[in-house]
């Protein structure tokens, strides 16, 4: 393996030493083999290596010594091999005629024939090498590989394939030569043994060890040659990054308008649309208020499915071809509609399923879903409140040990869900259909509907209507005025006996949930999720908002602000929130808030949550904030976060907290950490910090700490605020916020002190939501603390798995990962 390679953190640096040993053994084996061939040829007065094989090997050594390799040691070895090859050429020319008595013309001109073969092989290998190593358009580039200063160019794989071809040619032709000659003169067991050892160590074991240790950097071409889909490997070439960004790596939340424009421009729909929209009756919103699956629903579903099927047969194909030859991911046709779903196949399956249900009243078996995460254990019959008090879990990551994590399938429990209300900044619809089959689960998707400041909800609704996805409704929260991003993330999963509420930091994409497109690649991105299971009310009725604990009141308040409709909020009120008294739902409602409402939002909302849970009696407080996006941070904004975490309001008198930078640490990856991560820079486009923001004189650089995941090589999309402190009575406390809010005024709201001394309106540009979860008192009582010391980060064990190494390393001259405008 080239010493110029940048290893991901999950690959042990000893790979270099192991490869050096294996290559050394291989090189020694080949050298001894060539010497033995020369000696045996002179002894037997013949030539041992077949003519074309010798020409290929000689040409390979010339090309790699003169043009390819950068390392002096490799050049010296290739030079030694060429000197030995001259001895082999000598024996070929001197004794070749005796082996070609049946073809005297060949025997007399064997030297000339060899020279022609040598030139032909040299030209071919040189052309292949130049094509493979082209810095502008390299073959099969990979993150971490560097060749002559150009990142991504993989000279190791070139060496593997060309040397493999040379050895295969030599093996086949050597066997053929023995058969033609009728004897093994020129050969010996020692020649065979040394060549076998050289090939085994230098070729097979060396590259095999690289593949086993770091498959991401060594296997893509192999899988492509086997006919596997290119998505099964990381598409690292710049021309493939567009698809990767949209389908594998989501965009971040700050400067949302610009970054969403980037993502959507990559998905620009080049296909024509139908001339006329479908009949209104076909796209009529489905009633999602009922969270049971009774016979009346089945009858309605069957009638609707039959109607859709009949219209499918009657409707002419009016889809137009794209103007260019490239089909973008957003291409919509009558066969593949909203976000790529195959409507006709879905409706046919739905007809068969519903017809079967009409004949047989027994419960249907869940469809076999394609999933790349470990299968969840079979759910038991009846409602089980697995998380009645709430829990925070890490998201699953492929190829990493299972700890306190959860897969998307384990979270969704699809066979037990009747209705799903899902809010996300970005969706991978095909993947979502696999996880929650819309023919079986009624769904509402809350979506983002602004593009470069333009309202695009009509376009999205039309595409959805044309797709005729069953049992689904799209909803767009208000995006008026200053609001630029619907960045909140939550799931309301309604079952017959329980409601599961999940609040993740992840978008609804496979990468965010740790899944990959193959069986060997580790996950590249980690997130966190809060989830809680609520039982149905004992009276089976709809509760009152005013009777709810703070968590429930703020959740319903947020849902109403998002205008999801009374059927959803009434559905939530059918469940018992009694066991949420220790929790707080923290939200940011987009817009301008001139007066504090009944349920404050943004940073005032966080402060209100701290007060309601009685964590505002603070003597000393330390904050550790892990985020995937940083805005235009300054001391004033840090002071507002710090005050809110103490339960205090922002006023003229406390606008800037003295020494606030000494009490807040911000966890964000350095450029080196991203470069060496498993996914590499191509997976870091959801992690953003503008160069303009970072270079500002007011940016608190000394607060930055390198986010290094405890899962080696993982990047993070987490938004976690850890608070540790002492009350005025000396008792310790700790709590954590997990949600969608990054460190920016867009997420938490901007607010200024006016000249009059009054505090101005709260301006919130994003929709956000999260949960504040305290560390239990009995856990804190177990902590042995010195006087005036705050609890250590280990106090969160049992409440949340801290996903990064603590204390994080200071930057100390290193630069952060910079991505974004400016």
Positions annotated as catalytic residues are 487, 717
A 10 A CB-CB count for 40 gives 19
d(CA 681, CA 688): 11
Residue 55's Cβ-count burial label (10 Å; 0-12, 13-18, 19+) is buried
Q: Is 719 annotated as a binding residue?
A: yes
d(CA 56, CA 676): 37
Residue 736's Cβ-count burial label (10 Å; 0-12, 13-18, 19+) is buried
- DSSP state letters, 281-336: TTSPPP-----S--HHHHHHHHHHHHHHHHHHHHS---PPPPSSSPPPTT---SSB
Residue 793 · residue 727 · CB < 8 Å: no
Cα–Cα distances in angstroms (integers) from residue 446 to residues 475, 552, 740, 749, in the given order: 5, 20, 15, 21
d(CA 239, CA 622): 45
* Helix or strand holding residue 671 (H, E): helix 671-675
- DSSP state letters, 543-580: --GGGS-HHHHHHHHHHHHTT--HHHHHHHTTB--GGG
For 189-206, letters b (16+ CB in 10 Å) and e give eebeebbebbbbbbbebb
Residue 126's Cβ-count burial label (10 Å; 0-12, 13-18, 19+) is middle
**CA nearest to 767, candidates 464, 446, 532, 549:** 446
Cα–Cα distances in angstroms (integers) from residue 357 to residues 299, 302, 417, in the given order: 10, 10, 18
**CA nearest to 762, candidates 619, 657, 606:** 606
Classify 716 as helix, strand or coil.
strand
> According to DSSP H, which parts of 483-630 are helical?
550-561, 566-572, 602-612
Hey, what are 131's tokens? 């094509």
d(CA 194, CA 566): 79
d(CA 597, CA 379): 42
d(CA 584, CA 503): 12
> Between β-strands 762-764 and 766-774, what pairing exists: parallel, antiparallel or unpaired?
unpaired
* Helix or strand holding residue 440 (H, E): none
Q: Is 243 annotated as a binding residue?
A: no
Question: For residue 541, what are the contacts with CB-CB under 8 A and spacing of at least 6?
Answer: 574
Hey, what are 587's tokens? 């939200």
> Between β-strands 766-774 and 732-739, what pairing exists: parallel, antiparallel or unpaired?
antiparallel
> Between β-strands 715-716 and 525-526, what pairing exists: parallel, antiparallel or unpaired?
parallel
Residue 715 · residue 677 · CB < 8 Å: yes
Residue 332 · residue 278 · CB < 8 Å: no
User: What is the Cα 270 distance to its own chain's centre?
Assistant: 26
**CA nearest to 803, candidates 685, 680, 712:** 712
d(CA 551, CA 177): 82
Residue 369 · residue 343 · CB < 8 Å: no
């Amino acid at each position: 393996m080239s010493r110029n390679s940048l290893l991901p953190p999950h690959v042990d640096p000893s790979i270099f030493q192991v490869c050096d040993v294996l290559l050394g053994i291989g090189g020694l084996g080949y050298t001894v083999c060539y010497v033995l061939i020369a000696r045996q040829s002179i002894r037997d007065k013949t030539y041992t290596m077949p003519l074309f094989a010798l020409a290929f090997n000689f040409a390979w050594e010339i090309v790699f010594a003169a043009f390819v390799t950068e390392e002096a040691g490799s050049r010296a070895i290739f030079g030694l091999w060429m000197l030995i090859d001259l001895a082999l050429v000598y024996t070929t020319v001197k004794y070749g005629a005796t082996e070609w008595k049946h073809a005297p013309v060949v025997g007399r001109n064997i030297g000339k024939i060899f020279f022609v073969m040598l030139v032909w092989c040299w030209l071919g290998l040189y052309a292949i090498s130049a094509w493979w190593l082209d810095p502008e358009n390299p073959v099969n580039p990979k993150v971490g590989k560097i060749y002559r200063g150009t990142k991504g160019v993989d000279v190791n794989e070139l060496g593997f394939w060309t040397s493999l071809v040379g050895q295969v040619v030599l093996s086949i032709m050597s066997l053929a030569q023995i058969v033609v000659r009728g004897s093994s003169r020129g050969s010996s067991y020692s020649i065979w043994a040394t060549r076998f050892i050289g090939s085994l160590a230098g070729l097979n074991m060396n590259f095999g060890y690289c593949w086993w240790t770091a498959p991401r950097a060594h296997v893509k071409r192999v899988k492509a040659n086997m006919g596997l889909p290119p998505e099964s490997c990381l598409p690292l070439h710049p021309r493939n990054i567009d698809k990767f960004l949209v389908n594998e790596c989501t965009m971040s939340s700050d400067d949302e308008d610009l970054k969403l424009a980037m993502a959507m421009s990559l998905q620009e729909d080049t296909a024509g649309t139908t001339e006329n929209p479908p009949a209104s009756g076909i796209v009529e919103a489905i009633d999602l208020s009922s969270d049971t699956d009774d016979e009346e629903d089945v009858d309605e579903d069957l009638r609707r499915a039959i109607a859709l099927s009949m219209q499918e047969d009657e409707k002419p194909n009016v889809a137009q071809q794209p103007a260019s030859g490239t089909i973008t991911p957003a291409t919509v046709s009558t066969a593949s509609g909203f976000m790529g779903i195959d409507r006709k196949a879905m409706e046919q399956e739905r007809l068969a399923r519903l017809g079967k249900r009409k004949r047989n009243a027994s419960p249907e078996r869940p469809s076999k879903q394609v999933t790349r995460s470990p299968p969840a254990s079979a759910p038991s019959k009846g409602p089980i409140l697995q998380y009645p008090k709430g829990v925070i879990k890490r998201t699953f990551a492929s190829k990493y040990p299972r700890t306190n994590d959860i897969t998307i399938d384990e979270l969704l429990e699809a066979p037990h869900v009747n209705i799903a209300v899902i809010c996300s900044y970005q969706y991978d619809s095909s993947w979502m259909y696999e996880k929650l089959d819309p023919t079986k689960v009624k769904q509402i998707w809350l979506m983002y509907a602004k593009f470069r400041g333009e309202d695009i909800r009509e376009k999205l609704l039309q595409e959805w209507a044309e797709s005729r996805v069953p049992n689904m409704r799209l909803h767009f929260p208000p995006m008026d005025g200053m609001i630029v991003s619907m960045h909140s993330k939550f799931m309301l999963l309604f079952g017959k006996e329980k409601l599961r509420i999940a609040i993740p930091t992840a978008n609804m994409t496979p990468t965010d949930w740790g899944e990959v497109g193959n069986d060997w690649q580790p996950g590249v991105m980690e997130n966190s999720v809060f989830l809680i299971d609520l039982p149905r009310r004992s009276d089976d009725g709809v509760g009152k908002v005013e009777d709810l604990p703070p968590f429930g009141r703020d959740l319903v308040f947020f849902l109403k602000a998002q205008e999801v409709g009374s059927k959803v909020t009434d559905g939530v009120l059918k469940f018992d929130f009694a066991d949420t008294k220790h929790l707080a739902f923290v939200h940011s409602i987009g817009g301008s808030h001139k007066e504090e409402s009944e349920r404050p939002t943004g940073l005032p909302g966080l402060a209100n949550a701290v007060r309601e849970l009685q964590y505002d009696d603070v003597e000393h407080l330390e904050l550790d904030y892990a985020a995937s996006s940083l805005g235009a941070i300054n001391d004033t904004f840090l002071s507002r976060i710090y005050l809110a975490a103490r339960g205090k309001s922002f006023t003229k008198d406390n606008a800037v907290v003295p020494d606030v930078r000494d009490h807040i640490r911000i966890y964000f990856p350095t450029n080196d950490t991203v470069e060496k991560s498993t996914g590499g820079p191509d997976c870091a486009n959801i992690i953003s910090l503008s160069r303009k923001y970072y270079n500002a004189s007011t940016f608190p650089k000394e607060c930055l700490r390198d986010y290094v995941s405890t899962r080696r090589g993982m990047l993070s999309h987490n938004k976690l605020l850890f608070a540790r402190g002492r009350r005025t009575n000396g008792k310790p406390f700790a709590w954590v916020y997990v949600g969608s809010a990054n460190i920016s005024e867009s997420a938490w709201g901007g607010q200024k002190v006016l000249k009059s001394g009054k505090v101005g309106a709260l301006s919130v540009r994003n929709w956000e939501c999260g949960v504040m979860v305290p560390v239990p008192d009995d856990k804190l009582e177990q902590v042995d603390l010195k006087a005036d010391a705050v609890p250590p980060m280990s106090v969160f064990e049992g409440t949340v798995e801290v996903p990064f190494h603590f204390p994080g390393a200071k930057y100390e001259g290193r630069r952060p990962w910079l991505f974004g405008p400016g």
